[in-house]
Amino acid sequence: MNKENWAIDQYGIQIFSKRNIDIPWLDVSTKGWFELEVDESWWTKSQMRALNFFLNLPDSTRQLLELKINELYSIEIKSGRITDTENAKGLDSINWEKSHICIPHHYNSKEQFILLLPESKSILLDGQFPFEMEFLFVNGKLKVSQEFNGIHTGNVVEAYSEK
């Protein structure tokens, strides 16, 4: 991974991509960021290993993600929070330019954590904001699919480590 494509934010807590990152199994590209770990000045080996593993997931992961996206849309449509059903289906409904990959803290975990944070083209009825989702991958397996609520702000390692 070319470090020239990355910069530390003004607060020294994240490393963000200057250009989009290609996700081959999705055939899209999007921005990304690493959460800086305590006493680290750059990403860790385990964070980079997690990102590389995620970027090289098998193409079959695409179908699973599309299924989970459609399930989330179905929940929002049934609840009446989204009525734009024309733009609420599958991977084409995602605004990849405004979506992100987040590589959270890994600390000493041997597991690999990645958050895919897609922003949809559908606007929620209770505001002016798009419907956002989050998908947590642990060791390459999709573990959490839900409306965005900020998993990355908590301790992902503690909450989602394999027991």
pLDDT of residue 163: 59
Is residue 75 in some structural domain? Answer: yes
Q: Is 93 a member of any domain?
A: yes
CA 149 to chain centroid: 12
The residue type at 3: K
Gap between the Cα atoms of 130 and 121, Å rounded: 6
Torsion of the alpha carbons at 28, 9, 117 and 83, rounded to the nearest 10: -100
Length of the chain: 163
Q: What is the pTM of this model?
A: 0.91
Position 100 in a domain? yes
In 36-135, where does DSSP find H-type helix? Answer: 45-55, 60-78
40 band by pLDDT with thresholds 50, 70 and 90? confident
Residue 52 counted as domain residue: yes
Q: Report how far residue 79's alpha carbon sits from residue 73's, in angstroms, rounded to the nearest whole number.
A: 10
Number of domains composing the chain: 1
State the residue range of the domain holding 153.
43-160
Do 20 and 31 meet the contact criterion of CB atoms below 8 Å apart?
Answer: yes
Query: Cβ distance 11 to 4 under 8 Å?
Result: no
CA distances from 52 to 26, 32, 72, 85, 162 (A): 14, 13, 27, 34, 20
Asked if residue 7 is part of any domain, the answer here is no
Given a cut of 90, whether residue 71 has pLDDT beyond it is: yes
For residues 27 and 157, the model is more confident at 27
Average pLDDT over residues 70-85: 87
- Report how far residue 35's alpha carbon sits from residue 13's, in angstroms, rounded to the nearest whole number: 6
Q: Which two tokens stand for residue 16?
A: 């963000």
Residue 108 lies in a domain: yes
Per-residue pLDDT of 6-30, as tens digits, reads 998 888 888 999 999 999 999 999 9
